[in-house]
Chain A
Amino acid sequence: MTRPSIDTVIAALAADIRPVTSLPPPARRAISTIAIIMFVVAVGVYLLSDVGALRERQSGREAAFGLEMFAILATGLLAITAAFFASIPGRSRWWRTAPLPALAAWLILSGAGCYGDLVRNGASGWAMGESLHCLVFIVATSALLAGPVVWRLSRASPIEPLPVALLGGLGIAAFSAFILQFFHPFTVTFLDLAVHLVAILAVVVVIALLNRRALAPA
């Protein structure tokens, strides 16, 4: 196929120019999106969860549980923020690694909690609780949160959608796992943790697979 001359391309693009609204800075877009998510989380937790029972369940390990919750929340916040930065050409590539320390802390703290239970309770520390319910919960909550996040990310028409989708998927899955902690009726075992990770990976993979369609340039 014959390539049109560069002057022809420039003339055609200039003829097609229409005013566009410049996107707000990624930090501002990330904050407003996170505010929407936090609102959904707060309403859900306030209406549906039993914070008293949660406090009773975690008595004796409040500090460890608090740190774990902080790590999950930090993973979600940093992953969503990083996704917005990664969606804009020319922003630092370091943003792509931003959620990794928090993610590592989350995995280590969850694993340490499970190990503590294994030591205290013996073989029952390997038992499978109601993990399938957790899987369904994480996937369903992620599906709910994915709509506004993917829509807002797609406004940037990312030129490299895969990292944006992976970071967005991780952020959504982390927020879902954060909400799950308020509804979790039993202590997490290693198998439960594995199922949680499978659910989170499933969410990340599905959103990454949908990246070309969902985040395709307008």
Chain B
Amino acid sequence: MAENSGLPTNARAAAGTRWGELLAAAQTGDADAYREFLTAILPFVRTIARQRCWAEDMAEDVVQDVLLTIHRVRHTYEPGRPVKPWLAAITIRRSIDATRKRGRIGKRELFNQSAYETFADPRANHEPDTDAPRVLARMTEGLSRGQKEAIELVKIQEMSLVEASAASGQSVASLKVNIHRAMKKLRLGLVGSLE
């Protein structure tokens, strides 16, 4: 079944036993054992994923998803029991989930590169050709320094409030107030410019 299927039966059994021991050690918080376990099971997981997924990139997504699932449900492994059926069940489940998800997306969505283009002339679609940075600079002219900083960190750089607070030195409450006031000013400025 797995990549080590060429090994003699007792060697495969020994590998399974070793994986069980490593996972049991990982349950106690042993990071080295956990790293060794996750690395050792990769061929086994990859083989099952490839059997059930038609695309290579999808199989690799499943492998990563399986590792994350193992991390979340590692407490359900009962030390002393065979580890391979436990791993195989998780991999098969995640493969089925991925196949269904891909099928659902495929039914409803269509990738069309030209859909991102607005004009036939390729130069018109280049971001640097637009005057967005200048427009943004003009719109933020009327904001105070604190408001500009709050908008820049939270809305443009998409930092969380806590991260923005650490970066700017403003408290989370001040950031919230500054963003609220800045958004109000920007909205009024936008409406004014349209009128």
Contacts and interface: CB of A to CB of B under 8 A. Distances in A.
Interface in A174-218: 217-218
Given A20-B75, A217-B73, A14 B29 contact: no
Contacts of B27: 19-22
A91 to B, nearest CB: 8
A14 B35 contact: yes
B67 A23 contact: no
The size bracket of the interface on A is 20 to 34
B68 interface: yes
B63 interface: yes
Interface string A7-34: 0011101111111111101000000000
A6 B93 contact: no
Given A10-B67, A160-B93, A17 B34 contact: yes
6 contacts: A17-B30, A20-B75, A22-B79, A159-B89, A160-B93, A217-B73
Contacts of B67: 6, 9-10, 13
Given A22-B78, A89-B86, A90-B89, A6 B64 contact: yes
Contacts of B151: none
Contacts of A10: 35, 38-39, 67
A56 B186 CA distance: 81
Given A3-B64, A16-B71, A159 B35 contact: no
Interface of A: 3-4, 6, 9-11, 13-23, 25, 87-91, 156-157, 159-160, 217-218
Contacts, number: 88
8 closest pairs, A vs B, by CB? Answer: A90-B85, A19-B29, A90-B86, A89-B89, A14-B35, A20-B75, A90-B89, A10-B38
Nearest to A156: B76
Interface string B11-52: 000000000000010111111101100110010000000000
Nearest to B46: A6
B72 interface: yes
Contacts of A11: 35
B158 interface: no
